[in-house]
């Protein structure tokens, strides 16, 4: 039975290996992620890898005693028009969903997808719930997306059903507390006076 839990973890990790990771750990004195205009709370005891690069901020959260995994992906380029939102969804979200389904299929599962919705930082999200059973252990990958503060955010909640049930408070803490800070206005140059 543990092999199916590892398969869920392997699927999650294989989907997120876009760049090399540098490990960081959440502790009781640091329950807030706050970097480059993105902030959110996360529970103590959850460790994360920050895989951010120039295109996106990306953190993967997990616990040593859990097979659940939470991923936060925030596209750095502002999406300010409906056309840019549609393009970002087609290029990033749709391909990510297809890749997740293919990973389940490659592991011998028969994934079933259904629409899903939640709130991300107070904004109603679009989403999909991909159900699958690996070695007889039922689980899911929930993928949700929304534009918050003109940035596309994609959240993933992945793992066996039992682990997801226990990790739901962490999922709720992260997704509901996400904030995007408006960039500070550029300082106007001070006119120089002639002596």
Residue 191 lies in a domain: no
Q: What is the CATH number of the domain that holds 57?
A: 2.60.120.1690
Examine residue 187 and state whether it is found in any structural domain, yes or no.
no
State how far the Cα of 188 lies from the Cα of 19, in Å rounded to an integer. Answer: 37
* pLDDT for the residue 31: 73
pTM for the predicted model, two decimal places: 0.80
The answer as to whether 193 is a domain residue is no
pLDDT tens for the chain, residues 1 to 195: 444 444 454 444 444 443 233 233 333 444 799 999 999 999 999 999 999 999 999 999 999 999 999 999 999 999 999 999 999 999 999 999 999 999 999 988 999 999 999 999 999 999 999 999 988 999 999 999 999 999 999 999 999 999 999 999 999 999 999 999 976 555 566 666 665
Domain count across the chain: 1
What is the CB-side half-sphere exposure of residue 29 using CA atoms within 13 A? Answer: 0
Buried-exposed string 161-183: b where 16+ CB fall within 10 A, e elsewhere: eebbeebeebbebbbebbebeee
- pLDDT value of position 185: 56
Provide the domain limits for residue 170: 2-180
143 falls within a domain: yes
In-domain check, residue 130: yes
- Domain assignment present for residue 190? The answer is no
Q: Give the model's pLDDT for residue 3.
A: 47
Any domain includes 141: yes
């Amino acid at each position: 039975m543990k092999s199916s839990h590892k398969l869920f973890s392997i699927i999650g990790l294989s989907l997120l290996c876009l760049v090399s990771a540098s490990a960081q750990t959440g502790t009781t004195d640091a329950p807030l992620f706050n970097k480059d205009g993105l902030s959110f709370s996360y529970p103590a005891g959850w460790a994360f890898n920050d895989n951010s690069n120039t295109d996106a901020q990306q953190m993967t959260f997990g616990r040593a005693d859990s097979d659940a995994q939470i991923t936060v992906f925030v596209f750095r380029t502002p999406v300010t028009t409906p056309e840019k939102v549609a393009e970002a969804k087609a290029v990033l979200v749709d391909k990510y969903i297809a890749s997740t389904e293919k990973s389940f299929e490659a592991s011998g599962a028969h994934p079933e997808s259904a629409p899903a919705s939640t709130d991300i930082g107070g904004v109603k999200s679009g989403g999909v719930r991909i159900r699958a059973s690996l070695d007889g252990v039922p689980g899911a990958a929930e993928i949700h997306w929304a534009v918050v503060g003109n940035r596309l955010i994609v959240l993933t909640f992945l793992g066996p059903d039992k682990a997801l049930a226990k990790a739901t408070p962490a999922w709720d803490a992260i997704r509901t507390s996400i904030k995007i800070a408006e960039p500070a206005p550029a300082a106007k140059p001070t006119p120089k006076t002639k002596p």
